[in-house]
Structure 1
Amino acid sequence: MTLPIIRPARPDEHDAIARAWMASWVSTGLSQASDNLLNDLRVRLPREIAGGWSLFVVDDRGAIAAMLALHLPTSLLDQLMVVPTYQGRSLGRELLAFTRRQMPDEIWLKCVRENEKAWRWYEREGFIFEKEAPHPVTGFMMKHYRWMRTNRTSEAKP
């Protein structure tokens, strides 16, 4: 069995990535699939990349199984979306480990408050709740989280 690989996204994959993003987002129950949503995500991808996103995909023999958007200058994990048919296969955990290799000291993220499955998972993965604030565009209440690497050498000193 060939395991899916995490690799940088290519511009010719933007449509497939937007579809994967929409499928994952819709699986939260917070929205319904629509042409408008898909078009918004298609437009958003190149805009976010131009704004500093590093975009990665999980490639399962040519199929996009997940997407990951990082903004490395601000240590922001902006999007981690797994296609529903791939959920429950530890791809999220693999993407989070990949993210920690890219940003080994600190990671910030925001999660929609109503997406309890996601924020509880982030809490189990060591993220600490910082605050809640409304998203300025969508109006969703967002939970802000932070993860910091534990510096074991400084903890061991008296």
Structure 2
Amino acid sequence: MNSDDVVLRRAGRTDALGAADVWLRSFAAALPSVRRAHDDAEVRAWFPHVVVPRHETWVALVDNGVVGVLVLEGGELEQLYLEPSWRGRGLGDRFMALAKRRRPDGLSLWTFQVNEPARRFYERHGFLAVEHTDGSGNEEREPDVRYVWRPRHSG
């Protein structure tokens, strides 16, 4: 099965726990050295009460199960997490194309400096690193990097 078999749609309330579980598994797989600021129960409460109802949240579905989540808030790409088994199969590219269509004037995001695969992914999609921090401004206290994507306009 490839990413073309996956349905992308706006998340509803019934998708929130599946999205939270993808977030938890993806974070654990991609960022094993990063201290999480919130435990599993807090993350599972955050998705149905905050993320899905208050932010533009999209899910990737296979057989009605969530395998990816994208969260946009204004011009920020707040969350992009994939089920670990779906990494490298084109699903992130589909989510990125969706995010750029939804925010054609540009996007920005934060990722942890230690997350080299994510950094390569964003750079491959035209994002430029514009700020590096020591992590004192995030809950995890982990050094991070801010990326910005601006579309090229002809003319």
TM-score when scaled to structure 1? 0.85
Q: 1:108 to 1:114 in 2, by over 3 A?
A: same
Superposition deviation, residue 29 in structure 1? 3.6
Letter in 1 for 2:107: I
- The one-letter code sitting in structure 2 at the alignment partner of 1:55 is T
Which entry has the higher C-alpha Rg, 1 or 2? Answer: 1
Letter in 2 for 1:15: L
CA distance in 1, matches of 2:96, 2:68: 12
Kindly provide the CA deviation profile for residues 95-139 of structure 1, in whole angstroms up to 9, marking residues without a partner as x: 000000000111000001111110121111110000012233221
Match of residue 114 from structure 1: 114
Unaligned runs of 5+ in 2: none
Higher relative contact order (CA 8 A, sep 6+): 2
Q: Distance in 2 between matches of 1:98 and 1:28?
A: 22
Q: Which residue of 1 aligns with 2:143?
A: 141
Q: 39, 44, 47: which is aligned to 2:50?
A: 47
| Residue in 2 that maps onto 1:100 | 100
Identical-residue share of aligned pairs (%):
24
Q: What letter matches 2:51 in structure 1?
A: E
Distance in 1 (alpha carbons) for counterparts of 2:138 and 2:84:
28
Equivalent residue for 2:68, pick from 52, 66, 69: 66
Which residue number corresponds to residue 89 of structure 1? 89
Aligned to 2:6: 4
Unaligned runs of 5+ in 1: 154-158
* Alpha-carbon RMSD: 2.0
Task: Kindly provide the amino acid, as one letter, of the partner of residue 129 in structure 1.
Answer: A
Q: Which residue of 1 aligns with 2:131?
A: 131
The residue type equivalent to 1:139 in the other structure is R
